Chain A
Amino acid sequence: MTNWIDACSSDDIDAEDVIRFDHGGRTFAIYRNDANAYFCTDGLCTHEDVHLADGLVVENTIECPKHASIFDFTTGEVETPPACENLHTYPTVVRDGRVMVQI
């Protein structure tokens, strides 16, 4: 069962940045790239339980603040270890200025 969840306003995230979004006892990271497209992944790094929202977004990648794993947040794929497992990604759309995530 998946639902479209209203996560935040599209203005809540700066271009090329990320915020943390908690919902239903889970935590997610929502990204806006510099082309103003929005993406959502699991909120914790797959290497250690660290919030990726404290990390650095560069183009379409997020670098974990703790041990510098790098993921492509559009696909969830690991670009640089130590993480070995990809992030799960969630469909994300913007409707009427709201970022909607299918969780």
Chain B
Amino acid sequence: MAGIVILGAGECGVRAAFTLRELGYTRPVTLIDAEPALPYERPPLSKNLACEAREIRHADAYLSAEIELRQGTQVTCIDLGGKTLRLVDGGVIDFDQLLVATGARPRLFPGMENCATLRTDRDARRILSRFTPGARVGIIGGGFIGLELAATARRAGAEVTVVEAAPRILGRGVPPQIAALVQARHTDEGVKILTDTGVVRADETTIALADGTELGFDIVVAGVGAVPNVELAQEAGLTCDNGIAVDAAFRTSDPAVFAAGDCCSFEWRGNRVRLESWKAAQDQGSHAAAAMLGSGEVFSKVPWFWSDQFDMTLQVAGLFDLAGAMHTRDTGDDTCIVFQCDPAGAISAAAGIGPGNAAAREIKILEKLIERQTQADPSILADPSVNLKRLLKA
């Protein structure tokens, strides 16, 4: 048996498993899934009331690729010396190489342990069933998950309040100009957004604010970030640094073990970063699979995120330095594109928002320019009469 074992069957683990087969790996591939359901896509969970979890791959795809999917399997220990995983039921799984793709879980601050959080399809069913006309929904955190849930709840007719501790929403990675458009849209739709508002305590139905006010709700959901699932790796002795620390090919401190996706931190353009991103999880899973088979290629994919709220889509490519200068490409209509160049003059990050996919094509082009670290004069990029695609050909 042995072969390659992948611990975690989210986007990263599933992509890695199929990539191994696409690259011609013929030895056993075992994909260990802690959840009972067939691996599914998480992004729709916060965006639609319908809560239809789409399978990443159909069941027969695992069979025909000869990927052994072990659903509902809980691992208690990684034994690096013995190259085995120990299971909660006492079983063991041997590996020649291991990919840790254990993802992340919702963060909760002390005093808010009983708030609902969203990660799994079960979480989504529990939360979305409460989004009914007139229901009072309290959301802690004005990030992607909180705002997507706010939009979903509002469209269901709920009365929605978002509480954000920072001076503005989307403060982690979205330029302020774009965040302001998002906030204005939520306000127009009737979502109440309280910024600069600290939470001292919260439970299923109450949010207690720092100023002493207590707000009552029918449901309270916390979306205040995620923590990487590093415990198994840490206990095994793998080096961790805001995630399982890996090199540019997703190798951990043990030569037989790789890590990728939300659980890892990696070198990207001189900084150690950890991403919580659907696309990055896929890209990294694919890259790690190739690295496990001996590819020495350095990971160069640009971080890319998206969010759907009401009829708007927001996309971000690259990582913004939010303290740095921003430039706006005046697209005129109801779209807005903001970008940034690094000190060397290369395009380093771009964000766009608009109805549906109106801003998507330009963001895709900018993403490719960011990947190539194309040098460009910001005033040229800002000029809407400049065809960005020509820059790709240059």
Contact = CB atoms under 8 A, between A and B. Distances in A.
Contact of A56 (B56, B57, B365): B365
Contact of A82 (B282, B304, B313): B282
A37 interface: no
A46 B306 CA distance: 19
Contacts of A16: 389
A84 B361 contact: no
A72 interface: no
B361 A56 contact: yes
A68 B365 CA distance: 12
Interface in B38-61: 41, 54, 56-58, 61
Nearest to A18: B361
Q: Which of B58, B278, B360 counts the most chain A CB atoms within 10 A?
A: B360
B61 A65 contact: no
Given A82-B41, A84-B58, A84-B61, A54 B282 contact: no
A51 interface: yes
Interface string A53-93: 01110100001011110000000000001101000000000
B15 interface: yes
B272 interface: no
B364 interface: yes
Given A56-B365, A68-B279, A68-B304, A82 B360 contact: no
Contacts of B360: 54-55, 65-66
A8 interface: no
A68 B286 CA distance: 15
A84 B364 contact: no
Nearest to A52: B357
A65 B41 contact: no
Contact of B56 (A50, A51, A68, A82): A82
Contacts of B313: 66
B356 interface: yes
B365 A65 contact: no
A54 B365 CA distance: 12
A54 B361 contact: yes
Interface string B257-281: 0000000000000000000001100
A72 B57 CA distance: 20
A51 B357 contact: yes
Nearest to A66: B357
A58 B368 CA distance: 11
B360 to A, nearest CB: 3
Contacts of B15: 81
Given A81-B15, A81-B282, A82-B282, A65 B357 contact: yes
A50 B357 contact: yes
Nearest to B364: A56
A65 B57 contact: no
Contacts of A56: 361, 364-365, 389
A66 B358 CA distance: 10
Contacts of B368: 58
A11 B61 CA distance: 42
B391 to A, nearest CB: 13
A63 B365 CA distance: 11
Contact of B364 (A50, A51, A63, A82): A63
Contacts of A58: 368, 392
Contact of A65 (B56, B282, B364, B389): B364
A54 B355 CA distance: 12
Contacts of A68: 279, 304, 364
Interface string A4-39: 000000000000100000000000000000000000
28 contacts: A16-B389, A48-B54, A54-B356, A54-B357, A54-B358, A55-B357, A55-B361, A55-B364, A56-B361, A56-B364, A56-B365, A58-B368, A58-B392, A63-B364, A65-B357, A65-B360, A65-B364, A66-B360, A67-B278, A67-B279, A67-B306, A68-B279, A68-B364, A81-B15, A82-B56, A82-B282, A84-B57, A84-B61
Interface of A: 16, 48, 50-51, 54-56, 58, 63, 65-68, 81-82, 84
Given A48-B54, A63-B364, 18 more contacts: A50-B357, A51-B357, A54-B356, A55-B357, A55-B361, A55-B364, A56-B364, A56-B389, A65-B360, A66-B313, A66-B360, A67-B279, A67-B306, A68-B364, A81-B15, A81-B18, A82-B41, A82-B56
